[in-house]
Amino acid sequence: MTVTIYHNPKCGTSRTVLAAIRDSGVEPQVIEYLQTPPDRTELARLLARMDMTPRQLLRRRGTPYDELGLDDPKWTDDQLIDFMVAHPILIERPIVESPLGQGFAARPTAIRALLA
């Protein structure tokens, strides 16, 4: 089974989710998305698979979210995707993708459904 994690090694939740995947016996493809961010097409694909809007995937803490005024409802989904492509730190993490589904794994327990 191929599992991919969009990972930030500085994020405790991301490290915990990566460890949980490995503890399940799976060695995932690890994409450190701050070094290798998804392009616009890939990010749109991930959002569609997760059935999420760009606004739902935005991370506020520790990002330029406030500085860019991203809480303003004037920003369209396409514009928010552009911001995330330009500033990948705005992407909430980790994102885990597996053949069993796509999930926004904010908590380590959320990945079980993607690995079982």
Identify the domain containing residue 97 by its residue range. 4-115
Asked if residue 65 lies in contact with residue 71, where contact means CB atoms within 8 angstroms, the answer is yes
Confidence (pLDDT) at 5: 93
Catalytic residue annotation? 11
For residue range 43-84, list pLDDT tens digits in order. 999 998 888 899 999 999 999 999 999 999 999 999 999 999
pLDDT over 90 (residue 93): no
**Single-letter amino acid code for the residue at 76:** T
What CATH number does residue 111 fall under?
Answer: 3.40.30.10
Annotate 77-106 with DSSP letters as a single string. Answer: HHHHHHHHHH-GGGB-S-EEEETTEEEE-S
Confidence (pLDDT) at 2: 87
Q: What is the pTM of this model?
A: 0.85
Indicate the number of domains in the chain.
1
